[in-house]
């Protein structure tokens, strides 16, 4: 057809020696049409970002480069084009936006100047005309007070505003093709929904073809016309959105879709609310910018919050970044001091216990952290990491090591893992080690702070299963912090929705889902990517 904008034929991108596979992308074929959004979906390491960068010749050469295949755009082969000709296409005929708008913008230049640069490179417009176009563009991406935004530096804007500015820059010269590399991954869910809406709107208006890189099937459901699934550099399935989402053909696509948490409340036996294990009463916490002479404005992280965790239940703390959910979790484990209020552990106030007096209580509350790469000491063996807690609490080293090996079995790792170092494991495996470390002290309460948000969706499902399994087996109470409502519905008995340091709504998961009372909760549900699709998604046969 004539409206083909980009035609990728048999593309292979080689990786340097020592990588886990010889080529990042192998024999990829993909066709993009005008006015259509094509989502390239894959897990981390699938090669999706490199494929996108190859189109614009932005691969980190010479170590990573296109070794064969053709990238046809407006009659030219971008895989072999001369650098001078490629520069004419970049920014003018093909625009690109990135995952992290903070680092993608030059921190020392004003937003207006950075957008203006596109006109200066590709057009002969005069200064005043360029300025006017910049302001109009900023207005087009619905930024308030575009004149002021143009005069601002990147650090003065919010994440969502920065991404809007990036979009304005990418679309400045109305390119035929927009490449969006995970443009909403670093954003909060409500901001993500707005940015997705904006991309959709602008793309419809101008008939732009969009190559949208993502790892989230929810996003695919919301924005895609066409979907292509990439597994370890090989395109395993592609086609119209509804066909791929509802009738996946390839086993990998099926497995990926099966792992996506549904926006439904799973049937689970109603838990009898037990006694209160852990409680926060009227807890307040502010962060002040501190110096010897200056006292900056204080940020209120927790605004007199009270919450109770019952024995045997899983309580979800759900909110966007800056809502105070992690602060509350850390305050309740006393990893973070609070300004006022009380933390009660089984009837005993632990708010003001000195470190030494707190130590015996530490055993009873354990944490699992978000970042599987930062949460394990890189210089310790796995056995030492897991055994550290029991040794601190007086267990003989030999006994603690033996227990560590048993725990590895419990979290689904081979006991031989005990003698290796953290960097030898994948993200999911590391998270299992982190869980084993927490369980080594046989705690009453497990506080999980975004334990799966750094993991790929298939691994995410496995770790969530493990947590649910352990909780059931050991009768632990769990405080589960997450930004993802789908995950919260999947694992939590009760959910507390947080915003600006307060709990706006708390109740059983089913009630929060079916009858949210607070407008913010409703907004959160509406913003979940692929909400409509996810609720009615056919459950694939296992």
Partner 1 sequence: MRRWRYFGYRLLLAVPVIFGILVLNFFLIRLAPGDAASVLAGESGAATPEYTELLRQKFGLDRPMPEQFIAYITAALRFDLGFSFRNDSPVLDLILERLGPTLLLMSTAFTMALALGTLLGLLAAVARNTWRDAAISVATLICYATPGFWLGLMLIVVFSLTLGWLPTSGFENIAEGYEGWERVQDIALHLVMPAMALGLFYLALYTRVMRASMLEQTGMDYVVTARAKGQTETRIMFGHMLRNAFLPVLTMAGVQAGNLIGGSIVVETVFGWPGVGTLAFTALQSRDLNLLLGIFFISACIVVAINLIVELLYVLLDPRIQA
Partner 2 sequence: MPDGLRRFARNRMAVLGAIVIAIIVLVSVLAPFLYPKGAFSLAGQPLQPPSLQFPLGTDALGRDVAAGVAEGARTSLLIGIAAALSAVIFGAMIGGIAGYYRGTVDIVLMRVTEFFQTIPAFLLAMLLVVILSPSLLSVIIAIAAVSWPGIARLVRGEFVALGGREFILASLGLGASGPRIIFRHLLPNCLSAIITVGSLLVATAILLETGLAFLGLGDPNIMSWGLQISAGRVSLRTAWWVCTFPGIAILLTVLSINLVGDGLNEALNPRLRER
Cα distances from 156 to residues 132, 449, 539, in angstroms, run: 22, 29, 45
176 scored as a contact of partner 1 (CB under 8 A): no
Backbone dihedral angles phi then psi of residue 393, each to the nearest 5 degrees: -95, 25
- Cβ neighbors of 211 (< 8 A, separation 6 or more) are 6, 32, 38, 40, 52, 55, 177, 178, 179, 180
How are beta strands 276-290 and 209-214 bridged, if at all?
unpaired
- From residue 532, give the alpha-carbon distance in Å to each of 184, 239, 255, 259, 511: 19, 20, 21, 17, 18
Please report, in angstroms and rounded to a whole number, the separation of the first and last CA atoms in the chain: 39
58 binds, among partner 2, partner 1, none (CB under 5 to 8 A by kind): partner 1
Question: Residue 108 interacts with partner 1 (CB under 8 A)?
Answer: yes
Cβ distance to partner 1 smaller for residue 44 or 106: 106
Please tell me whether residue 95 binds partner 1 under the rule CB under 8 A: yes
Q: Does 109 bind partner 1 (CB under 8 A)?
A: yes
Residue 118 interacting with partner 1 (CB under 8 A): yes
- Choosing from 91, 218, 516, 530, the residue that interacts with partner 1 (CB under 8 A) is 91
- Beta 37-41 vs 209-214: how paired, if at all? parallel
Stretch that binds partner 1, among 82-90, 232-240, 297-305, 352-360 (CB under 8 A): 82-90
d(CA 448, CA 454): 13
Is residue 71 at the binding interface for partner 1, with CB under 8 A as the rule?
no
Does residue 149 touch partner 1 according to CB under 8 A? no
Smaller CB separation from partner 2, 376 or 470: 376
Q: How far is CA 105 from the centre of its chain?
A: 20
For residue 223 the two structure tokens come to 């924005």
User: Is residue 288 part of the contact set for partner 1 (CB under 8 A)?
Assistant: no
Q: Is residue 56 within the footprint of partner 1 (CB under 8 A)?
A: yes
* From candidates 4, 16, 63, 88, binder to partner 1 by CB under 8 A: 88
Q: Between 156 and 416, whose beta carbon lies closer to partner 1?
A: 156
**Nearest-angstrom CA–CA distance, 184 and 191:** 8
Separation between Cα atoms, residue 170 and residue 173, nearest integer Å: 8
- Contact between 372 and 430 under an 8 Å Cβ cutoff? The reply is yes
- Is 421 a residue that touches partner 1 (CB under 8 A)? no
C-beta closer to partner 1: residue 56 or 488: 56
Measured between alpha carbons, how far is residue 511 from residues 5, 47, 267, 508 in Å? 47, 41, 13, 5
> If binding means CB under 8 A, how many residues of this protein chain bind partner 1?
31
Report the alpha-carbon distance of residue 164 to residue 97 in Å, rounded: 10
Pairing of strands 94-97, 177-181: parallel
Stretch of residues binding partner 1 (CB under 8 A), selected from 127-135, 230-238, 289-297, 398-406: 289-297
Interacting residues toward partner 2 by CB under 8 A: 290-292, 330, 333, 335, 355, 358-360, 362-363, 365-367, 369-371, 374-380, 388-389, 392-393, 434, 437, 441
Taking CB under 8 A as the criterion, which residues in 342-371 touch partner 1?
A: none
Residue 87 contact partner, candidates partner 2, partner 1, none, CB within 5 to 8 A by sort of partner: partner 1
Distance CA 398, CA 383 (A): 11
Sequence-distant (6+) residues with CB within 8 A of 329 are 317, 367, 447, 449, 479, 481
- Interatomic CA distance for residues 258 and 270, integer angstroms: 25
- The entry of partner 2, partner 1, none that residue 376 binds, CB within 5 to 8 Å by partner kind: partner 2
* C-beta of 363 vs 518, nearer to partner 2: 363
Cβ distance to partner 2 smaller for residue 379 or 473:
379
Residue closer to partner 1 (CB basis): 118 or 305? 118
For residue 520, the 8-state DSSP code is: H
Structure tokens at 410: 């419990």
244 or 332: CB nearest partner 2: 332
Nearer to partner 2, 268 or 359 (CB): 359
CB of 371 to partner 2, least distance (A): 6
Q: Which stretch binds partner 1 (CB under 8 A): 96-104, 205-213, 273-281, 468-476?
A: 96-104
Q: If contact means CB under 5 to 8 A according to the sort of partner, which of partner 2, partner 1, none does residue 100 touch?
A: partner 1
104 binds, among partner 1, partner 2, none (CB under 5 to 8 A by kind): partner 1
Please state, in angstroms and rounded to a whole number, the distance separating the CA atoms of residues 308 and 312. 12
Query: Residues 196-235: x/- map of binding to partner 1 (CB under 8 A)?
Result: ----------------------------------------
Smallest gap from Cβ 40 to partner 2, in A, equals 27
- List, in sequence order, the alpha helices (H) in 262-367: 325-332, 355-362
What residues numbered 152-171 form the site for partner 1, per CB under 8 A?
153, 155, 166, 169-170
Is the Cβ of residue 177 or residue 367 nearer to partner 2 in the bound state? 367
The rounded distance, in Å, linking the Cα atoms of 284 and 302 is 5
> Among the residues of 282-341, which ranges form H helices?
325-332
Residue 121 makes contact with partner 1 by CB under 8 A: yes
Query: Using the rule CB under 8 A, is 281 a contact of partner 1?
Result: no
Binding site for partner 1 (CB under 8 A): 56, 58, 87-92, 95-96, 98, 100, 103-109, 117-118, 121-122, 153, 155, 166, 169-170, 293-294, 296
């Amino acid at each position: 057809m004539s409206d083909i904008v980009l035609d990728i034929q048999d593309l292979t991108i080689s990786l340097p020696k020592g990588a886990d596979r010889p080529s990042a992308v192998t024999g990829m074929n993909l066709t993009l049409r005008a006015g259509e959004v094509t989502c390239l979906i894959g897990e981390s390491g699938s090669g999706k970002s490199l494929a996108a960068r190859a189109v614009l010749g932005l691969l980190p050469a010479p170590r990573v480069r296109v070794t064969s295949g053709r990238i046809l755009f407006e009659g030219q082969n971008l895989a072999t084009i001369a650098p001078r000709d490629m520069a004419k296409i970049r920014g003018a005929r093909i625009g690109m936006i990135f995952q992290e708008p903070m680092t993608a913008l030059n921190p020392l230049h004003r937003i207006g100047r950075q957008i203006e640069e596109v006109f200066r490179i590709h057009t002969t417009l005069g200064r005043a005309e360029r300025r006017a176009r910049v302001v109009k563009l900023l207005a087009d991406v619905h930024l308030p007070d575009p004149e002021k935004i143009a005069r601002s530096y990147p650090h003065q804007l919010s994440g969502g505003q920065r991404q809007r500015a990036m979009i304005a820059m990418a679309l400045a010269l109305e390119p035929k093709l927009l490449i969006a590399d995970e443009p909403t991954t670093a954003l909060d869910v409500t901001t993500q929904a707005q940015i997705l809406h904006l991309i959709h709107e602008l793309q419809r208006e101008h008939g732009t073809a969009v190559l949208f890189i993502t790892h989230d099937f929810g996003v695919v459901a919301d924005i895609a016309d066409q979907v292509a699934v990439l597994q370890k550099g090989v395109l395993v399935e592609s086609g119209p959105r509804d066909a791929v989402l509802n009738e996946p053909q390839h086993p990998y696509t099926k497995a990926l879709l099966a792992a996506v948490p549904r926006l439904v409340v799973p049937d689970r036996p109603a838990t009898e609310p037990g006694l209160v294990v852990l409680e926060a009463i009227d807890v307040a916490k502010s962060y002040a910018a501190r110096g010897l002479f200056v006292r900056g404005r204080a940020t209120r992280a927790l605004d007199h919050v009270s919450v109770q965790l019952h024995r045997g239940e899983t309580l979800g703390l759900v909110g966007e970044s800056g809502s105070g959910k992690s602060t509350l979790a850390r305050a309740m484990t006393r990893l973070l001091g609070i300004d006022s209020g009380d933390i009660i552990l089984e009837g005993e106030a632990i708010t003001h216990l000195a470190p030494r007096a707190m130590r015996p209580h530490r055993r009873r509350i354990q944490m699992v952290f978000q970042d599987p790469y930062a949460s394990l000491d890189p210089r310790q063996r796995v056995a030492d990491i897991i055994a550290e807690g029991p040794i601190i609490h007086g267990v003989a080293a030999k006994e603690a090591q033996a227990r560590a090996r048993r725990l590895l079995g419990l979290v689904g790792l081979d006991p031989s893992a005990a003698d290796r170092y953290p960097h030898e494991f994948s993200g999911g495996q590391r998270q299992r080690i982190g869980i084993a470390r927490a369980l080594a002290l046989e705690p009453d309460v497990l506080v999980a702070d975004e334990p799966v948000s750094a993991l790929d969706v298939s691994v995410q499902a496995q770790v969530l299963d493990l947590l649910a399994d352990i909780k059931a087996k050991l009768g632990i109470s769990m405080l589960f912090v997450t930004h993802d409502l789908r995950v919260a519905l999947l694992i939590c008995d009760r959910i507390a929705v947080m915003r600006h340091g307060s709990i706006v709504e708390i109740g059983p998961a089913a009630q929060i889902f079916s009858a949210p009372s607070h407008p913010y909760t409703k907004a959160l549900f509406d913003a979940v990517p692929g909400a409509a699709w996810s609720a009615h998604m056919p459950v694939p046969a296992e």
